[in-house]
Structure 1
Amino acid sequence: MEGISDISHLPPAPDRWLAQLYADTRDVMFKDWAVISKVFPRPIDVMQQLLKRVFEQTIQSYLETLLGRAERQSNLAFLRVLSSSHIETRKLIEDLQRFDAETVTPAVTVLESARRSGNVPQGLLDMPSSAQTSSAQFSRSRAKKAISRRGRDAEQSAIDDDDDLDDEAAARDRLGEAKSGVSSAVAIAALIGRSEGDNAGVGLLHGFLNRCCDDLFESYVAGSNYMRAEQAHLKEAFRQTLAPFARSRAERHNSSRGNALLGIFTSVTGGANTATSGNGAGSAGNASAAGGQPAEFEGTVTATTARMLLQVHAEAIARGVELENDGLVAECVSSLTSILLSTLGDEYMFPALEDVLESLQDLRQEPDLRTFGVIRVANIAVRLVQMHFQRAIVPFVGASSYVYRDMVAEKNQFMSRVEMSLNLISNKLVGACTQWILGILGKQRKGDFRPADDDYTAFEMGTQPCRQCADYLHRIERACRQSMGAENQERVLTDVGNTLYRMLMEHLRKFVVSVAGGLVLVKDVSKYREAIGSFGIPALNEKFSILQDISNIFVVQPAALKSLLDEGPLARLDRATVQGFVQMREDGRTSGLARQFL
């Protein structure tokens, strides 16, 4: 019983004493048949009574004790012991049925046939020598009939007296094997004229043995006894699995709103690196665990929790398939799957994703890039559900049944709601990130592009807002690479890049740029271009190449400006846009330079 009540442990092996009891039962039945078949004129009746006594007294008594002890420990322990005991009992029944089909039934058939012909009245193993000739005649007759059925009339007519003597000796040998209870089904079939396809695998005790097994477990699975126990366990196991998430979420909602939003990412599970709470520069480092794998946080969706829920459900499905009648398996699987989807959605993923979406509402705070990891894990959870559905559920539900259709509809509705939530989070996160970048650009000072001639830091490193934006863009890119597939990466990064391009086109027309400031601006645009280049999207590279050409407007001499605007890539831009940049040159207004390009 050690560990049997722990849902994180795999189900234990069947009780070793039960397995030993069944091994002893096999040995006793196999050995007793040799004696019974020698002593009693109707050995099949004696064998049936012996089996009934063993099942009703010895086996049933031990099973009741075993299951009672398990039930006192926990509901899960009871269900696991019930299932493993049923599996072990079915193995015993199948072994006994095989012995019956291969040994008991063929031997009894020989005896009954001989009795009907009046050749063997004393019993199967008590045939006197005076009956040997009659037995040989019986055997030869059965052999001839078998040959005739196979269309071998010519061969039958060729049997001579010597062959008859050989037939008699062979028949006695085969009958002796039947008497000992160890002959093969093939030998007996040849003796009694029974082909292997004529229900060769079903013996006289087949149905009786099935009833013995059913009677052992009837009180535990009859009606809805088993399903009530399984459903109660499943709900409790799910509640236990989601307890850390529920506790973390309750603590957040009981605290102040700001702390509640930050608390989503404060607790790490699954052995990942410890993450720090709060936002800021540390968020990038917390986006991944050792080995480049994103960390998991118990305050939101985790692959570990999703896998545990599916593991618990798969074990329940296996028990249902084992214990329920064949006609009720589909309804059993459907009922247990409805509990899974309801719990996974309404009590776990939907509330968690709603919390993440709420955490992105306050645009005054830097968006936590670990939100990309939540999107990744939620996608993993959806894929796991789909795999689980195909492998652990569909095989036990008829593909054309109404149960299957209802289950597919319920599963698709769950997946559709998750996908819709993830799309909302993704769009909101992109908007929050670009809004944060806009806030950084808003810290650009008017004198940043009119530096002193000895301000070498600005010439070499660019302005501080630019450096902060470039760093944030690199962090966005890394978070996307770690958390999204190629298609979603391109979509998110393209949205960020296009928004940044539009913002910079507006941003750079707000500042007067001196000759020295032009060099600083060129440096800034180079950093933006480098950061966007790491996205690996050609369309964005082309746009920021144009932005680099625009920055050259502020560093060329007035005489070369016309050539730059009329012959290069800038010639494709709207003339009003170009004029707006020219006007921001420090000498643009005093020399009337901008009017030259109207």
Structure 2
Amino acid sequence: MSSPIKADISSIKDAVSYEKFKEKFSALEFVDNLTSSMMAASKRSTSPVKAIVFDPKPFIRAFDMASDELLRLKKRVQAKIDDQEDQAAASESQRQRKLKSFGDTFDDVHRAFESLDSRLSEVGNTAIRIGEQLETIDKQKTRAAEAKDLIQYFLEFNKGIFTRLDTLRQSEPDGGYKAAIIARRLNTIAKEVDIADTEAARANIEKYCENLEKSLLVEFDQAYSQGDGSTMNKIACTLLDFNGGSSCVQTYVNQHAFFINLLKIAEMDQESTTNIKEDFSEVDPALIRLYEEITVAIHNEWKVIFVVFPNAASVIQVFVQRIFAQSIQNYLEGLLERARNDSPVSFLQALAHSHAATAKLVTDLHRFDEKVISKALGSPALSSLLNRSFEDLFVPYLENSRYIDMELTWLSEKLQNNLGALQSSLFIKTKTMFHHRKALSRSQQSSPTKETATPLTSNAVMSSIMLTVANTMSTVSAMSSELGTQLSGSPLGQNFPATPSADGCWVPTVKDATKCFSVYMQSVHRSKELAQMTDLSLCLSLLFKLLVKELGASSILVGLDVELEALHAIDHKSEPEFGQLKVIKTVTKTLQIFQHHFQAQLIPMLASSPTLQREMMIFKNEFFSAIEEKLNAIMQRKIAVVASWMEVLFARQKKSDFKPRDDIVAVNTLSTLVCNQVVDFIQRVRDEAHVSLDGENLESYLTEVGTLLHCLLLDHFKKFPVSYAGGLVLTKDVSKYHEVIMTFKITLLDERFDMIKELGNMFIVKPENLKSVINEGYLGRIEMQLLHPYLSLRADWAKLSKIEHELFEMNEIHA
């Protein structure tokens, strides 16, 4: 049975039409369009009972028809595409032909344009050549006209007629400038052209130029007095082109109120200082005021000069140069001349203060040049001028070695003035003591306490230092290289009594050394200000060597020799005087001043010259070594003197002191006379050391003295037999020795004298306790053979043979 559902051919053709595919294509919508009518018919014709049966055939036929229709549509579209591709190919071919035609046409146009441009360039070059020729002709015409005018002016001047040039000058605003230029050219012609019958023209032109310049200068001066900057500028420009403008600049500078007022002030200052004692140790107040006025004047005048003069840089240079060459130089010459007449130190002080003040002025002007003038002109104008002018001011006083010669001469004289009395006394003392040294007794040399340092004269060390100083100070001819040369021919050296310094020493006091350093530092500060940087290290080294020569070699070293000789000359049979050790403290403090200055100031200032710095360190070390060697010799000699006198005191000990006949009197005796004398002497030695020494020197000296006393006591106690009552006296002596040594507060000595105290106890212990005393404490550390000499001095020792045997036997077992 055929299906009632049939495909609608018209709807299929409508669904497969070309227009449907122009828009966005959807396969789902396409199938819906093909089957929608059949689905609707199927729903209408099918009963509910048969609804479940599906008949696909109508749909298959519809799809077959649609497929056929799509194939036909595809053929039509493909045919249309082929037609359009053919048309496009034909159009592209035609377009290529047109482009080629346009390209050929453009090339023709470009060639035509290049040809036209080339022709235009030729025309332009021709026009330029014509313009240049016209310009040359115009210049020639102008020059010819000017030459004609100049010839006419020249002829008029030859006849003495100036009317036309005067009229030109007065008729136009810039007529003065034109007249000046014409006059300058006429003057040049008159000087270069030598034509007969033109002498009158030459003379008239020269006279006219002079009158013109004077007239312009008068106008400039009037404008200057009226403060008319515009007129001043016009005249300055005219004179600059007329004759360089130097006369205008000189007029401006010469008539400047600053120089006129300054001259009056200088005259007033000279009158005011005629009868007044000036203080050259400070900067001259008038010089400070002068420099302040100069600074203000330059600042103010630059504003005027920059407006008035077209060559402002040259004018400010002339103005500043005039200030330095006239105002500053004249004042400095007068100031330094007054200082020279006052004293050498006044001259040096005034020179240093003036140099420092001038350097400050130059620095301020450099700053003004960099910040103001350079900003206005594009480059600094005063830099080299200021440096040159500053150097020129002080060249007469600083060139070559003039300054350092003056400084060294003054310092030498000042040091000799401060140390002259002491050096004269040293010279006399050394002559007197020279023969005593050869006559030193041999008994003094055979003292049981040997000196660790042999006394030396300072001749070798001093000569070395003096030679070094003399070699480096060849510029100071007045300075002697030997102390004897300085003093042998002077009245002071012949008649002055030999007396020590204020503190009783033969060396400069700390106060004297401080004075010497004070004047030395004055020279150092002036050298830092006045010496060239390249010469500063050498100047400072010369000053230091001179200080070492006068204060060190000629005073301290020679004084230490005198002190050492005095110690050698002490009579050992009489009690020595005290006070010789003060020289060590005095010299030590002086060396500390030397060292502090050398390390803190001199060495840093010599850093620019490593070779000289190294040389000065060697020089200083040799000087210090020489002095330290002397101080060590003095200390050792003092110890020898102390030892000699203690030997004398111990020699006064009587045998009966430790073996008295009356035991009751001995027991009541506090100590022996010799002990009291030795303790009193040791106390004075200690007190002298505390006053004269400090630090390591004090400890070393007291240790030497204590050790010396310890050795002398050990030797001393071997010489006297001791009874029981005498042992009590001996222990009292030992206690006093121990007590005085305890005041030294030196641990090493405390232990030594504790041993001495135990040694004294050996003489008073009972025989049965002797073994325990010897084997305990400090004595237990000592070999029996060393203690035997002391034990054998016990009065009862002969009765203690059994104990002696046991002691020696025990000692051998321990060994």
* Alignment TM-score > 0.5, same fold: yes
AA of the residue aligned to 2:515? M
Higher mean alpha-carbon deviation, 250-259 vs 493-502, is at 250-259
Cα deviation for residue 220 of structure 1 reads: 0.8
Deviations 1:95-142 (A, max 9, x none): 122122222221223xxxxxxxxxxxxxxxxxxxxxxxxxxxxxxxxx
**Which residue matches 1:114?**
none
2:795 corresponding residue in structure 1: 586
Judge conservation of contact 1:360–1:367 (CA < 8 Å) in 2. no
Matched, 1:325 2:521: no
Q: Which residue of 2 aligns with 1:352?
A: 559
Match in the other structure for 2:374: 105
Match for residue 337 of structure 2 among 64, 68, 85? 68
Per the alignment, residue 741 of structure 2 pairs with: 532
C-alpha distance in 1 between matches for 2:696 and 2:351: 48
Using the TM superposition, give the Cα deviation of residue 570 of structure 1 relative to its aligned residue in structure 2, in angstroms: 2.8
Q: Match for residue 637 of structure 2?
A: 428
CA contact (8 A) 2:537 2:608 kept: no
Partners in 1 of 2:687 and 2:742 — Cα distance?
13
Contact conserved, 2:419 with 2:508, CA < 8 A, in 1?
A: no
User: What SS is found at the alignment partner of 2:568?
Assistant: coil
1:136-170 Cα distance to aligned partner (Å, 9 max, x none): xxxxxxxxxxxxxxxxxxxxxxxxxxxxxxxxxxx
Alignment partner, residue 317 of structure 2: 48
Higher mean Cα deviation, 352-361 or 244-253?
244-253
Q: Which residue of 2 aligns with 1:398?
A: 607
Cα drift, residue 522 of structure 1: 0.8
Deviation at 1:81, TM superposition (A): 0.9
8 Å CA contact retained: 1:301, 1:349:
yes
Question: What RMSD in Å do the two structures reach over aligned CA positions?
Answer: 3.1
Trace 1:101-250 onto structure 2 (pairs within 5 A): 101-109=370-378, 203-250=380-427
In structure 1, distance between residues paired with 2:498 and 2:753: 35
SS for the counterpart of 1:585 is coil
Distance 1:567 1:333, change over 3 A: closer
CA contact (8 A) 2:639 2:704 kept: yes
1:415 matched to 2:624? The reply is: yes
Question: Structure 2: which amino acid aligns with 1:335?
Answer: L
* Higher relative contact order structure (alpha carbons within 8 Å, sequence separation ≥ 6): 1
**Equivalent position amino acid for 2:747 in 1:** P
The AA in structure 1 aligned to 2:781 is R
Query: Any conservation in 1 of the 2:718–2:790 contact (CA below 8 Å)?
Result: yes
Q: Residue deviations 1:31-74, cap 9 Å, x none?
A: 22222222222222222212222221222111111111111222
The residue that corresponds to 1:336 in the other structure is 543
Q: Which has the larger radius of gyration?
A: 2
Q: CA offsets, 1:281-322, max 9 Å, x none?
A: xxxxxxxxxxxxxxx446324222222222222221222221
How far did 1:434 drift? 2.0
- Distance in 1 (CA, whole Å) between partners of 2:402 and 2:342 is 18
CA contact (8 A) 1:310 1:388 kept: no
Distance 1:298 1:509 in 2: 40
Deviation at 1:591, TM superposition (A): 7.0
Per-residue Cα deviation, 1:381-402 (whole angstroms, up to 9, x for no partner): 2222122122332233235532
In structure 1, the residue matched to 2:348 is: 79
Change (3 A) 1:381 1:29: same
Measured in 1, the distance between the counterparts of 2:307 and 2:652 equals 104
Q: Which AA in structure 2 matches 1:54?
A: I
- Provide the secondary structure at the position in 1 that maps to 2:507: coil
Give the Cα separation in 2 of the matches to 1:494 and 1:84: 54
Deviations 1:228-269 (A, max 9, x none): 1112112111111211312333454577899999x9997564
**Residue 14 (str. 1) matches residue 269 (str. 2):** no
Distance 1:399 1:528, change over 3 A: farther
The CA distance in 2 between the partners of 1:589 and 1:372, in whole Å, is 48
Distance 1:348 1:223 in 2: 32
Give yes or no for contact 2:506–2:563 (8 Å, CA) kept in 1: no
Equivalent residues of 1:588, 1:594 under 8 A apart: no
Decide whether the 8 Å contact of 1:353 with 1:421 is kept in 2. yes
Q: 2:302 aligns with which of 33, 52, 56?
A: 33
Partner in structure 2 of residue 198 of structure 1: none
Change (3 A) 1:16 1:72: same
In structure 1, stretches of 5+ residues that fail to align are 5-10, 110-201, 270-295
Q: Which residue of 2 aligns with 1:546?
A: 755
Flag the 1:252–1:341 CA change in 2: closer, same or farther, 3 A.
closer
1:584 aligned partner, one-letter code: L
TM-score (norm. length: structure 1)? 0.72
2:17 alignment partner in structure 1: none
Deviation of 1:524 after TM superposition, in Å, equals: 0.6
Is 2:646 the partner of 1:437? yes
**Per the alignment, do residues 24 and 368 of structure 1 end up closer, same or farther by CA in structure 2, a change over 3 Å counting?**
farther
Following the alignment from structure 2 to structure 1, what is the Cα–Cα distance between the partners of residues 802 and 340? Answer: 92
User: Retained in 1: the 8 A contact 2:339–2:347?
Assistant: yes
Is 1:376 paired with 2:550? no
Structure 2, gaps ≥5 residues long: 1-275, 441-495, 809-815
What amino acid maps onto 1:46 in structure 2?
Answer: V
Q: What CA distance in whole angstroms lies between the structure 2 residues aligned with 1:16 and 1:328?
A: 30
Contact 2:670 2:732 in 1 (8 A): yes
Question: Does the 8 A contact of 2:283 with 2:350 survive in 1?
Answer: yes
Number of the residue aligned with 1:199: none
Alignment of 1:558 onto 2:735: no
Deviations 1:371-419, CA, capped at 9 Å, x for gaps: 3221122222222212212233223323553222222221111111112
Query: Structure 1 residues 531 and 92, CA, compared in 2 at 3 Å: closer, same or farther?
Result: same
Distance in 1 between the 2:595 and 2:497 partners?
A: 26
- Checking the alignment, whether the CA contact within 8 Å between 2:501 and 2:509 is kept in structure 1 is no
- Whether the 8 Å contact between 1:511 and 1:584 is mirrored in structure 2 is yes
**Is the alpha carbon distance of 1:572 and 1:332 closer, same or farther for their aligned partners in structure 2, counting shifts above 3 Å?**
closer
Amino acid at match of 2:635: S
Amino acid corresponding to residue 325 of structure 2 in structure 1: E
CA distance in structure 2 between the partners assigned to 1:3 and 1:297 by the alignment: 39
Instruction: Decide whether aligned partners of structure 1 residues 577 and 266 sit closer, same or farther in structure 2, where only a CA change above 3 A counts.
Output: farther
- Residue 43 (structure 2) aligns with: none
Distance 2:762 2:507 in 1: 49
**Identical pairs, percent:** 32
Aligned residue for 2:509?
302
